[in-house]
């Protein structure tokens, strides 16, 4: 998977590229690359005459945090993509990293996207219900706050209807299985269409 990401990052990007900057949920941990939701999103966009020009670039790296995304964003932006969909934060939460640090990293990522002239898009994520309610609330609140600060469209949760559903996840109950990725691709596609309009 890392080799695939490395290959995608050296391909020449175009002004119609949508870069999905994420972690294992985006990279497609545990499934084939063509079963990960960015690849399925590409299929949906290509099938629609109004969005056929968009190319989805999967810049997901398993284990990545918002700090890792911040380290990688300039390299991605150097190729001048049209939009960057930021899907990070899950590993920050699972590792118990400070929410203030996560917010600062996301702020800097979105600011750099905007400064480069690309459209910033943001996905939220929710912590498992096994985490304390207060911690979960503090974590979840970061995403709408960052989106509002940058006037960026927000998908409230990347895993709506998928998280913690046994039949939609691998045995670890964290990473989606192929059917889970299909559900994610469908909801991302429906949410994304208005934000890809010229």
Q: Where are the domains of the chain?
A: 2-7+15-196
CATH of 2-7+15-196, one of 3.40.50.1110, 3.40.1160.10, 3.10.129.10, 3.40.220.10: 3.40.50.1110
Rounded Cα gap, residues 89 and 99, in angstroms? 9
Q: Which residues of the chain have pLDDT under 70?
A: 1-15, 49-52, 198
Catalytic residue ranges: 24, 172, 175
Model-wide pTM > 0.85: yes
What pLDDT is stored for residue 149 in this prediction? 98
69-to-44, 49, 89, 110, 177 alpha-carbon distances in Å: 26, 32, 10, 11, 24
What pLDDT is stored for residue 50 in this prediction? 67
């Amino acid at each position: 998977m890392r080799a695939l990401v490395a290959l995608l990052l050296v391909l020449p990007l175009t002004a119609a590229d949508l870069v999905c900057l994420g972690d294992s949920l985006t990279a497609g941990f545990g499934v084939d690359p063509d079963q990960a939701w960015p690849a399925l999103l590409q299929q949906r966009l290509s099938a629609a005459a109004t969005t056929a020009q968009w190319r989805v670039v999967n810049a997901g790296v398993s284990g990545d945090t918002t700090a890792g995304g911040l380290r990688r964003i300039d390299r991605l932006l150097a190729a001048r993509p049209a939009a960057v969909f930021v899907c990070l934060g899950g590993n920050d939460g699972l590792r118990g990293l400070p929410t203030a640090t996560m917010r600062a990293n996301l702020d800097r990522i979105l600011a750099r996207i905007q400064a480069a002239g690309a459209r910033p898009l943001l996905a939220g994520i929710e912590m498992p219900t096994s985490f304390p309610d207060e911690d979960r609330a503090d974590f979840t609140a970061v995403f709408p706050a960052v989106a509002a600060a940058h006037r960026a469209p927000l998908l409230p949760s990347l895993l709506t209807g998928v998280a913690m559903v046994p039949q939609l996840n691998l045995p670890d109950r964290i990473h989606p299985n192929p059917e889970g990725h299909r559900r994610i691709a469908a909801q991302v596609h429906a949410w994304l269409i208005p934000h890809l309009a010229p």
